[in-house]
Amino acid sequence: MKLLILQETDWIKRGPHQQHHLMDRMALRGHEIRVIDHEYLWKEDLDKKIIKRSRNR
């Protein structure tokens, strides 16, 4: 199964949430997971960039 997850949060500043554990388990079972994560605090972002490079790679 292919899953697309849309999320409004900052994983680095706020930490992972419970649903990430579910997605990890589903990926281990062979499901294809893609996450679109947009900045939760985008109004406070001084760079005001629309697209940012991933910080966890």
The pLDDT value recorded for residue 17 is 63
Q: Residue 24 — left, alpha, or beta (φ > 0 → left; ψ -120 to 50 → alpha)? A: alpha
Contact 36, 7 (CB under 8 A): yes
Residue 26 host element (H or E) = helix 18-28
Q: What is the DSSP letter of 36?
A: E
- What is the DSSP secondary-structure string of 6-24? EEES-HHHH---HHHHHHH
Write down the pTM of the prediction.
Answer: 0.53
pLDDT per residue as tens digits for the range 31-56: 999 888 776 666 676 666 666 666 65
